[in-house]
Amino acid sequence: MSDLEISRRPAWVWAAGIIGTLAAGIIITFLCSGSSLPGQMVSAPAGDLEARYARHPLDNEVGFYFANALMRDGDKDRAYKVIADVAKRNPQSTRYLSQLANYAAANGRARETTEVYRRIAALDPADAHPHVELAHIFTEAGLLSDGLDEYDRALNLNPKVIYDPALYAECLIHAGRNEEAWRQLVYTLEHTPLQQTPYALLTSAGIKLGKFDDVEVWLTRRMNMEQEYPANLYQYSLARVAMARPKTAASRKAAEF
């Protein structure tokens, strides 16, 4: 495992990663709850929950929903501090730890987020979700080999676990598993053809596999789907294919004119 030195990427990449982590974490938290959610606390204002938490500072459920309310109101720093206290009192609770990981990510605490997901994975070795989250973090940071290891662990535990297919394909291409990446991307684009990122990855995998005609078909189809699209993105991919094609006698002769 390489040392987690998080590389700097454009802000939108980290924003997308954080949003994805939060969304997945909310689902995980709900699934891990194991009991009916107290409806009055789910929707209660942060001020009401703060007063209740002040009266009962060791009530972890009140603290949990108080942190949720703070996050809902945009006070992510206080939300993190509250859920950190709750998780500290309950170090074996994957439910509280999952929320701690979410809020640590929202506050840019990448290393802590990673450590918490590792704790969750150790507490519940059969759960694929923490491995998916680790894979997302590593891949966004450019640690593609580490990301691939976590994706593979997650899918071995649960082939139906939800993950980002484009990020997984990026890791597969990095590892030279181009045929797997190609199948992954083709399946994704068959079901969600208006995405953008998978086409660049499909181009990379297709070039390595010599699927030049197939890549051109996919790119052309995407360009014909709508009038408004970043044409330069797909034209650049088509140019990559053209440059990667093996030169034949006919093509060399044509290039002379």
Domain boundaries, the chain: 11-127
Burial class of 175 by CB neighbour count within 10 A (0 to 12, 13 to 18, 19+): middle
The answer to whether the Cα torsion of 155, 160, 163, 167 is positive or negative is positive
Class of domain 11-127: mainly alpha
What pLDDT sits at residue 17?
Answer: 52
Contact (CB, 8 A) for 237 and 199 = yes
> What's the confidence (pLDDT) of residue 230?
67
Closest CA to 116 of 13, 4, 225, 204: 4
pLDDT of residue 253: 53
CA–CA–CA angle 197, 245, 239 (5° rounding): 45
Return d(Cα 241, Cα 212) in angstroms, integer.
Answer: 6
Q: Which residue's entry shows tokens 């034209």?
A: 235
Query: Mind listing the pLDDT tens digit of every residue in the chain (257 residues)?
Result: 443 444 434 433 444 454 455 544 544 444 444 333 456 677 788 888 889 889 999 989 999 998 988 999 999 999 999 999 999 999 999 999 999 999 999 999 999 999 999 999 999 999 999 999 999 999 999 999 999 999 999 999 999 999 999 999 999 999 999 999 999 999 999 999 988 889 999 999 999 999 999 999 999 999 888 756 666 788 899 999 999 999 765 555 545 54
127 with 94: CB under 8 angstroms?
Answer: yes
Amino acid 154 reads A
